[in-house]
Amino acid sequence: MVSLRFPTAAILRLPPTQAPNGFAIAATVAAAAAAAAAAAASLTLTAKSAGRPVPRPAPLWASLSLADGAAPGSVEPRTGVTFPIEAAAGRRLLGIGLRKTSVLGLKSIDVYAFGVYADGNDLKQQLKEKYSKFSASELKENAELVNDTLERDIRMTVRLQIVYGRLSIGSVRSAFEKSVGSRLQKFGGHDTKELLQSFVALFKDEYKLPKGSVIELSRESNHVLKICIEGEEVGSIQSKLLCQSLLDLYIGDDPFDKNAKDDIHQNIASILKS
């Protein structure tokens, strides 16, 4: 840790105490402001002289939370779950959201918070040529941009963190069977049952999901879907259709969290224009 020392010239020296008047108060306030500015300048110079870079504003795709002792990340506000601004292999956080479900149509339950990540270089290589003529504002309104992100060979990760304490792996399996199954039919027709079963079969009963557990669903190069539970790889399947169907849950036309999808869209546009 760098020890920061302020030069004595930055210490505020007040004149002898006098009866307050308008001029004296104004002079004191001005002197205090000057001292604060000198201290700030000293802090910047000391950091530079110690070889430590002066902090810069966070990039567009990252909303930073610098809680004491915590790594930089973005916080899902309802659950307080923090997502790192970078996932494995340098994938950038594009947006965060919340998956909810209802019981008998009456009670809403928060199931898991999620963060969607993508490889910035892949986004540029796959999309920049097509969308280079568009302005940033035009890209943020262009629905085709998200569709291309779904279809192209872009490495992405959806990180799920469980917030419901009574969630079982069987419930996760059933939920994905329904939601991913509907997307497989949407993109690939009705002959997708075998592909769906090969996917949900990876969520075996031996895996436990206490509150705080993490599941990562990653599209790797050549449209390989890799599933990790608590850091352990449980299987992978090469299928462009399956990757597209899974990602559609989070950034497609009818996403789990509309606000998250909008943030992801805008941050993809920002990366393409950077």
pLDDT single digits (tens) 220-230: 999 999 999 99
Mean pLDDT value across the chain: 81
pLDDT value at 216 more than 80: yes
- In the prediction, which pLDDT does 43 show? 32
Identify the sign of the CA torsion 224, 122, 59, 86.
positive
pLDDT value at 200 more than 90: yes
Q: How confident is the model at residue 56 (pLDDT cuts 50, 70, 90)?
A: very low
pLDDT value at 9 more than 90: no
Topology (CATH level 3) of domain 73-273: Chalcone isomerase (3.50.70)
Beta-carbon neighbour count of residue 260 at 10 Å? Answer: 23
Q: How confident is the model at residue 51 (pLDDT cuts 50, 70, 90)?
A: very low
pLDDT value at 71 more than 60: no
Task: Decide which of 147 and 41 is more confident.
Answer: 147
pLDDT value at 68 more than 90: no
Report the percent of the chain where pLDDT is more than 70.
74
- In the prediction, which pLDDT does 72 show? 56
Burial class for 158, CB neighbours closer than 10 Å (0-12, 13-18, 19+): buried
- Sketch the domain layout of the chain as residue ranges: 73-273
Q: What residues contact 52, with CB distance under 8 A and at least 6 apart?
A: 2
Q: What Cα–Cα distance (Å) separates residue 214 from each residue in 42, 118, 269? A: 44, 18, 28
